Amino acid sequence: MKIKKNIHFEFEQEMVREPLLYRINRSFDVVVNIRGASVTDQGGFMALELEGETGEVEKVVDFLKSQAVKLGEGLGSYER
């Protein structure tokens, strides 16, 4: 079943140069729509809409959880 899921995450300075969106696009069969972003040399914030099969979207969430980011779904609180 295809779904759309909104997520957001913050990342620290050491992750600024990591190609997270590239990895998501190359590794998972999902459409990524950037809903908002702010990135500086000190860190950043991204809000994404993910669209795809439920399993693929969840794999993206699991991938981001394995990275050094603070992840949240929709407008909820962050997970560590």
pLDDT in tens, 11-63: 999 888 889 999 999 999 999 999 999 999 999 999 999 999 999 999 999 99
Beta strands, E only, the chain? 2-12, 30-40, 43-53, 69-73
- Using an 8 Å Cβ cutoff, are 47 and 11 in contact? no
* Number of structural domains the chain divides into: 1
* CATH assignment at residue 6: 3.30.70.260
In a domain, 6, yes or no: yes
Model pTM score: 0.85
In a domain, 80, yes or no: no
pLDDT for position 76: 40
